[in-house]
């Protein structure tokens, strides 16, 4: 295994190689570019041969590399992105993701192994969670803070995101705590909403290639519809807070958007927009996003809870939202 890695990377140390441009001279490809079953994608700031070599050594029991190349978006957003073609020696998804988690934590880079990848250049569908994915907050927790029930609601939110309690029950309980909150509180949160880094770059690239973009959220229409318009998305579905006299009643109107509804949204939009099922991506951070990930060709955990990182096809643990693009083929 070490000989194979050295053949690909050479024997230079990280003391002399510090950039993607320097890596270029080390990358060697085998004659048969089709002789691979999986692709390991590595991306981060200023990757070095040492980092790549150490990661490959760590993954040697589950992945056998055969060739290296730069991803077609390497450097576009300031990241080094390397594709390593090869063969997976394991079908234990949980074990593989644990190893990937270990190496990403050690080197502060991202990594994912895929058998099949959607193509950026072919129109597709991306369905995103909202809270802690598109935006850097859980809206219900922020409303609760203004209503002086923040700790009580945040604790239930955390349990729901970890999959410890049923989402419907948790939502009803949390929203009930918000009875009497004035609409002005929601407006204050909306106006200062922190959008996740990388979202504009992600949206821009996908739109250039004819992709459809949607939010499917267990959060609320007051924020999801606002983000749909602000970011120029094609669709949004979320929960509706009942309001009377500009005040929250503590109830949710209509069907609750839970994990099953999110998954159904992926299927419905795929059919509605005549997207190839192989061109669908779902991205989120919580346990209630796993169903929709399973209904998409590619499920991406984005700074997800441990369970989500373990179950998703790939995970963004370090990078920004635009990093999702690195898991797409040309």
92 catalytically annotated:
no
Catalytic residue among 79, 110, 129, 291: 129
61 catalytically annotated:
no
Instruction: Check if the beta carbon of residue 263 is closer than 8 Å to that of residue 294.
Output: yes
CA 155 → CA 144, 185, 240, distances in Å?
Answer: 11, 21, 22
What is the 3-state secondary structure of 170-233? HHHHHHHCCCCCEHHHHHHHHHCCCECCCHHHHHHHHHHCCCEEEEEEEEEHHHHHHHHHHHCC
Residues 75 and 19: their CA atoms lie apart, in Å, by 10
CA angle 19, 283, 320 (to 5 degrees): 30
Instruction: Check if the beta carbon of residue 114 is closer than 8 Å to that of residue 38.
Output: yes
Catalytic residue among 110, 131, 289, 291: 131
DSSP single-letter state for residue 329: B
Nearest by Cα to 116 from 38, 35, 206: 38
Q: Give catalytic residues, as residue numbers.
A: 129, 131
């Amino acid at each position: 295994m070490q000989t194979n890695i050295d053949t690909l990377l050479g024997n230079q140390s990280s003391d002399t190689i510090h950039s993607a441009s320097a890596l270029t001279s080390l990358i060697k490809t085998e004659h048969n570019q089709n002789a691979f079953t999986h692709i390991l994608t590595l991306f981060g700031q200023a990757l070095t041969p040492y980092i790549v070599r150490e990661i490959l050594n760590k993954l040697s029991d589950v992945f056998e590399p055969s060739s290296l190349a730069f991803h077609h978006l390497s450097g576009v957003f300031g990241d080094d992105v390397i594709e390593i073609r090869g063969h997976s020696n394991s079908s234990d998804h949980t074990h593989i993701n644990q190893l990937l988690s270990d190496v990403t934590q050690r080197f502060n880079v991202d990594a994912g192994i895929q058998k099949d990848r959607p193509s950026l250049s072919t129109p597709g569908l991306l369905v995103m969670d909202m809270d802690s994915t598109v935006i850097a907050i859980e809206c219900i927790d922020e409303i609760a803070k203004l209503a002086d029930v923040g700790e009580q609601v945040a604790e239930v939110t955390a349990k729901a995101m970890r999959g410890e309690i049923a989402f419907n029950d948790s939502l009803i309980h949390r929203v009930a705590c918000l009875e009497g909150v004035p609409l002005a509180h929601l407006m204050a949160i909306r106006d200062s909403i922190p959008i996740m880094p990388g979202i504009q770059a992600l949206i821009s690239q996908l739109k250039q290639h004819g992709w459809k973009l949607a939010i499917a959220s267990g959060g609320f229409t007051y924020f999801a519809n606002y983000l749909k318009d602000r970011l120029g998305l094609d669709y949004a579905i979320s929960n509706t807070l009942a309001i009377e006299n500009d005040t929250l009643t503590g109830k949710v109107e209509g069907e609750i958007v839970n994990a099953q509804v999110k998954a159904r949204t992926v299927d419905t939009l795929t059919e509605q927009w005549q997207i190839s099922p192989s061109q669908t991506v779902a991205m989120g951070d919580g346990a209630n996003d796993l169903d929709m990930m399973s209904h998409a060709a590619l499920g991406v955990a984005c700074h997800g809870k441990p369970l989500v990182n373990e179950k998703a096809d790939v995970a963004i643990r370090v990078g920004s939202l635009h990093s999702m693009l690195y898991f797409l083929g040309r």
